[in-house]
């Protein structure tokens, strides 16, 4: 049992989408980053009597928002997410371990029909009694993925070298979960 799961009471915790965020950033034109978020997502954290935790989450990839409608439509196309065939990305945890002053949440991530193991750097922000709707727990997590590992292999080279879109994508999660009664 890790310190994080010891602080979470046994049962199911549900991600509160109103107080959570799923974001990303990727290199653009070799000199800056495009940032975006997914507006529709859900998930649960289940803690058993021994303190072992499991996480299951889903993201509706068609809810991508980069603040540019034309870019968002391109990202939804077969060049990138292919939302017509793969509308949801999923994460299912396989383990949680402590690494120094933070945690690592291992799991299987599926995007565009490709499943790969990933490891999220996880910070546990603690538990609060909440505001009359049950206990809340807070987490922040991040991982850097190579988009090509998930079949997003469009190449858009620049005439001067490099590419319009970088290969490395940083995923950031800010999660507040509510204990279910």
Question: What are 74-131's pLDDT values in tens digits?
Answer: 999 998 999 999 999 999 999 999 888 889 999 999 999 999 999 999 999 999 888 8
> What's the pLDDT score for residue 1?
42
Selected residue with higher pLDDT from 12 and 167: 12
CA distance 78 to 15: 29
pLDDT at residue 155 tops 80 = no
**Residue 62 — pLDDT band, cuts 50, 70, 90?**
very high
Strand ranges in the chain using DSSP code E only, listed in sequence order: 11-15, 21-28, 32-38, 41-47, 53-60, 64-65, 88-99, 102-111, 114-128, 136-146, 165-179
The CATH number given to whatever domain includes residue 129 is 2.40.128.110
Please state the φ and ψ torsions of residue 140, each to the nearest 5 degrees: -130, 140
Q: How many CA atoms lie within 13 A of 47 on its CB side?
A: 19
Sign, CA dihedral 86-171-32-29, equals: negative
> What's the pLDDT score for residue 101?
83
| Structural domain boundaries, residue 33 | 3-179
Question: Which residue has 């909440």 as its token pair?
Answer: 130
Average pLDDT rounded to a whole number, residues 6-29: 89
Instruction: Please give the tally of structural domains in the chain.
Output: 1
> What's the pLDDT score for residue 49?
87
**Residue 160 — pLDDT band, cuts 50, 70, 90?**
confident
**Residue 9 — pLDDT band, cuts 50, 70, 90?**
confident
Average pLDDT rounded to a whole number, residues 18-41: 89
pLDDT at residue 6 tops 60 = no
Q: What is the pTM of this model?
A: 0.90
Please state the φ and ψ torsions of residue 52, each to the nearest 5 degrees: -75, 140
CA distance 82 to 173: 22
Which three-class secondary structure state does DSSP give residue 61? helix
Strand ranges in 112-148 using DSSP code E only, listed in sequence order: 114-128, 136-146
């Amino acid at each position: 049992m890790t310190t994080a799961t010891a602080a979470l009471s046994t049962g199911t915790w549900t991600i509160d989408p109103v107080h959570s965020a799923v974001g990303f950033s990727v290199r653009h034109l070799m000199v800056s980053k495009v940032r975006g978020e997914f507006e529709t997502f859900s998930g649960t954290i289940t803690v058993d009597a021994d303190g072992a935790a499991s996480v299951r989450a889903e993201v509706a990839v068609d809810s991508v928002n980069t603040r540019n409608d034309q870019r968002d439509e391109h990202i939804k196309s077969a060049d990138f997410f292919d939302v017509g065939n793969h509308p949801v990305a999923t994460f299912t945890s396989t383990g949680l371990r402590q690494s120094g002053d933070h945690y690592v949440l291992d799991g299987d991530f599926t995007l565009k029909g490709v499943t790969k193991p990933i490891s999220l750097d996880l910070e546990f922000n603690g538990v609060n009694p909440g505001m009359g709707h049950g206990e809340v727990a807070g987490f922040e997590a991040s991982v850097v993925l190579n988009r090509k590992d998930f079949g997003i292999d469009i190449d858009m080279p620049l005439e001067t070298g490099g590419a319009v879109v970088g290969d490395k994508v940083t995923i950031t999660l800010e999660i507040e979960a509510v204990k279910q009664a």
